[in-house]
Amino acid sequence: MSTASVHGWRRHLPLINAFIRYGLLIGIGFLMLYPLFWMIGGAFKNNHEIFASPGFIPAHPTTDGFTKGWKTSTEYTFATYLLNTMKIVIPKVILTVISSVIVAYGFARFAIPGRKLLFALLMATVLLPKSVLLIPQYLMFREFGWLDTYLPLYIPQAFAVEGFFVFLIIQFMRSLPVDMEEAAVMDGCNSFQVLTLIVCPVILPAIISVALFQFMWSMNDFLQPLIYLSSVEKYPVALALKMSIDVTEATSWNEILAMSVIALAPSLILFFVAQKYFVEGVTSGAVKG
Amino acid sequence: MNTPVTRRAAIAGMGALAACSPRTAPGPQRQVTLRMSWWGGASAHKATLEALRLFMQRYPHIEVRGEYTGFAGHLERLTTQIAGHTAPDLMQINWYWQVLFSRDGKGFYDLNALSKEIDFSQYDARTLGMGERNGHRNALSVGNAARLFYFNRTTYDKARLALPDSWESLLAAGPKMRDALGDAYYPIDGTFQDFIALARSRIVQKTGKALVDDINKRLNCTPQDIAEMARLYAGLTRNHSLPAARVRAAFGNVAQQEMRPWINGQFAGCYLWNSSIDKFTDTLRPGEHVELASYPLIPGASDAGLLYRPAMMFAINRQTSHPQETALLLNFLMNDPVGIRAMGLSRGVPSSAIARRTLTEDGMMTGLKLDSEAELAKLPITVLESPWFEHPRVRDGFQDILEMQGYGVIDEQTASQRLYDDINAILARVIR
């Protein structure tokens, strides 16, 4: 073997390296995303082809699923349900962010008597299964006269009920030096101004993570709207998608897949827009611990 | 005609008409709003909404609001509503939900008090009895259902076989079909649950008694009788008549009608509720054709061993403030020609006599639905099975033992013994 050829081979090493790495990443990425591709492909198939072939490219593409699915089997079109979902999700996300940030700030920066106990209690609620609270909460909201309204779905979020989000923000705040806040106090800020003017811009990645998580979870939430909403005109997407899955009738999976694709779009778009902050927000709390 | 504004206008117009119509009761009528809940698929939703629209046209002083969902979560939602005293006035329930919500018979409105509004003469005594507890009439059957044998005619024709009409021919079809078409083809397919029902039918044909004796809290048969279940399973799978557990498992945990071999006709039969056969025929590959077979009977059997029971029922909320109006709605949906035509067959073949007559005259009863009804009318059905046979613990007990046999963990002999001992122990524990 001549030195020139070794040299030539070595010269391509970074390229080969990149080729292998990216090949592997693309291959595994494709495997991971296959169900998603299959769903999109399935939306364009007719119903019996969905079960008959595992491939995702439809043999006879049709947009039937979209046109019929959009009309739905109810009195309303799918647009109503998308709009309803937004009516629930947007206030829910806003209230969650505001309340979680305030509570986390309190836990992270103030020496409240019994802070450890309170924090332990907050963490305990994370472990509490949601279904345990279902009937007591239902009775409470019935007394308030809130049944069949969206209020039970988002008003609780104004009280930082999601311990996980509070925890996430606290971890993020702990990794920040307090110097800037102390300087702000010296300059005459009260504690609320410190939070809004100094802390919030710094913890923006964590806030975006919380908002994204809450957005996606609320989009998918099935049980709460199912229990609290009885009028069909108020159903969100999660309920609407399951409206026509029954035990005695064949399900038009292509319509359901088509509507799932549409329902997935807001989450996907939001995720890609906020991706940069999102990844930072989830991981940076973990580094310092 | 469907937009809210024109509907409101239409109702107002109808109200003016109805004021001089002889059908509505005289006297001042206060405006009433009812809530009705149901689960179902797309066609059930459409049909019911149309029926409600027609009902509101007939009775302009009653407004009905439909609260409907798919089947997933419906029981959880209804349970919360009943616990929170916010249940709808009229609700669709499953037959066995009566045990959940009305163990003493007082959980639902006693329909006996509404006999002026509801025409009970359209139902036979057996059907009515299945909605009664402790003398209270809790619920009215919308449609009755039983499991029957359905076979893929296309596949049987390809194998040059007649559809099995006896237990023997079902067993014999296995090897013949395998020889004609190959290893992938089976004369019948079913989950363990389907098989348990199938075996129960054969045992009841032999004994002529219900399988579960809920007074003595045990099986109502000898160890030899119940051993038939393990023997039949071994025989059917050995003969290539029923795909063995391993074979089925290879296709994954998919609903039976969505399994590839069913869709393309390789699993050429099923033992299925006549109310849900449509779901199975709908997923078939175009060109595959399913037919009803005559039910296999042991020579001299006095009963076909069918579990014939309401597929779904309607019940009225015990706390409704408008029982008369709700009863009017119930009667309209089930016994009034206008309501019957609107509801059609979206909830299976109705149990109301007038509904069946109306739909037959309209030519709606065709194909498998008509065949199934004719077959059910022909078969001897006298034995009334205890609802405890369908209790989840009992069902799981059967399934566990058969699964072990199916996967070869225990042999036929042990399975027979355990079917007798274990199921008796479970029955003694669960029946209260």
Q: Do A73 and B42 touch (CB under 8 A)?
A: yes
Predicted confidence (pLDDT) at residue B62 exceeds the cutoff of 60: yes
Helix (DSSP H) and strand (DSSP E) numbers for chain B: 18, 12
Give the mean pLDDT of B150-177.
94
- With CA atoms as reference, the chain B residue closest to A245 would be B70
Residue A158 sits in the same domain as residue A245:
yes
Out of B44, B77, B260, the one facing A249 most closely (by C-beta) is B44
Residue A221 sits in the same domain as residue A95:
yes
Predicted confidence (pLDDT) at residue B5 exceeds the cutoff of 70: no
DSSP letter string over B175-210?
A: HHHHHHH-TT-BS----HHHHHHHHHHHHHHHH-S-
Tens of pLDDT, residues A224-260: 999 999 999 999 999 988 887 776 677 788 888 999 9
Of the candidates B227, B221, B197, the residue with the CA atom closest to the CA atom of residue B209: B221
Local structure of B283: helix, strand or coil: coil
- With CA atoms as reference, the chain A residue closest to B287 would be A48
Tens of pLDDT, residues A145-196: 999 999 999 999 999 988 999 999 999 898 888 888 899 999 999 999 999 9
How many folded domains does chain A comprise? 2
**Res B198: pLDDT:** 94
What whole-number distance in Å separates Cα of residue B190 and Cα of residue B262? Answer: 10
Structure tokens at B129: 């009895």
Predicted confidence (pLDDT) at residue A144 exceeds the cutoff of 90: yes
Residue A107 sits in the same domain as residue A210:
yes
The alpha-carbon gap from B374 to the nearest alpha carbon of chain A, in Å, equals 20
The alpha-carbon gap from A270 to the nearest alpha carbon of chain B, in Å, equals 29
Residue A40 sits in the same domain as residue A85:
no
Q: What is the domain-level CATH number for residue A180?
A: 1.10.3720.10
**Res A284: pLDDT:** 60
Residue A44 sits in the same domain as residue A88:
no
**Res B7: pLDDT:** 46
Q: Do B42 and A244 touch (CB under 8 A)?
A: yes
Per the CB < 8 A criterion, the answer to whether B138 and B102 are in contact is: yes
Local structure of B154: helix, strand or coil: helix
Q: Is B49 touching A (CB cutoff 8 A)?
A: yes
- Residue A42: domain span: 3-64
pTM score, two decimals?
Answer: 0.80
List, as ranges, residues 139-158 from A with C-beta within 8 Å of B.
139, 142, 147
* pLDDT band with cut points at 50, 70 and 90 for residue B257: confident
Q: Is B374 touching A (CB cutoff 8 A)?
A: no
Out of B81, B260, B279, the one facing A248 most closely (by C-beta) is B279
Q: Do B282 and A47 touch (CB under 8 A)?
A: yes
Q: Which residues of B touch A132 (CB under 8 A)?
A: none
Query: Where is pLDDT greater, at B14 or B131?
Result: B131
Predicted confidence (pLDDT) at residue A199 exceeds the cutoff of 70: yes
What is the ipTM score, two decimals?
0.78
Intra-chain end-to-end CA distance of chain A, in Å: 53
List, as ranges, residues 183-222 from A with C-beta within 8 Å of B.
222
Q: Which residues of B touch A252 (CB under 8 A)?
A: 42
Q: Do B71 and A227 touch (CB under 8 A)?
A: no
**Res A6: pLDDT:** 61
Domain end point (choices A64, A81, A104): A64
Residue A138 sits in the same domain as residue A35:
no
**Res A12: pLDDT:** 86
Residue A166 sits in the same domain as residue A258:
yes
* pLDDT band with cut points at 50, 70 and 90 for residue B26: very low
Residue A53 sits in the same domain as residue A162:
no
Domain end point (choices A64, A80, A113): A64
Residue A60 sits in the same domain as residue A80:
no
Residue A107 sits in the same domain as residue A201:
yes
Of the candidates B259, B244, B305, B42, the residue with the CA atom closest to the CA atom of residue B152: B259
Give the mean pLDDT of B342-369.
90
Q: Is B193 touching A (CB cutoff 8 A)?
A: no
Q: Do B65 and A231 touch (CB under 8 A)?
A: yes
Q: Do A223 and B66 touch (CB under 8 A)?
A: no
Of the candidates A185, A74, A176, the residue with the CA atom closest to the CA atom of residue B45: A74
Residue A97 sits in the same domain as residue A54:
no
Q: Do B73 and A139 touch (CB under 8 A)?
A: no
Domain end point (choices A64, A88, A111): A64
**Res B105: pLDDT:** 87
Predicted confidence (pLDDT) at residue A289 exceeds the cutoff of 60: no
Tens of pLDDT, residues A2-60: 445 567 778 888 899 999 999 999 999 999 999 899 899 989 988 777 877 777 888 88
Residue A8 sits in the same domain as residue A136:
no
